[in-house]
Amino acid sequence: MAVFSGKITKAFFTNPNHDTIQIIYKDGKNIIDYYLSVDFDHPDFKDLLKEYPISEIEKITRANAKQ
């Protein structure tokens, strides 16, 4: 289980290559940024996809770009 599991508030791609994802999660009163490379074999990436499918990450990324 990844450190962010069950605590994610937002996840989105950080660049146009879509090879890095920024995960924002809450740990108690702290808001933490966690960066994760796109790697379908990495356990943390698999945990992310259980909570946030790629389609949702792309949707949030597009919304961020419009702002």
Does the predicted TM-score (pTM) go above 0.85? yes
Residue 66, pLDDT above cutoff 90: no
Return d(Cα 31, Cα 12) in angstroms, integer.
Answer: 16
Residue pLDDT, tens place only, 9-35: 999 999 999 999 999 999 999 999 999
- Residue extents of the structural domains in the chain: 8-66
Write the CA distances from 6 to 19, 34, 37, 46, integer angstroms.
Answer: 23, 14, 19, 13
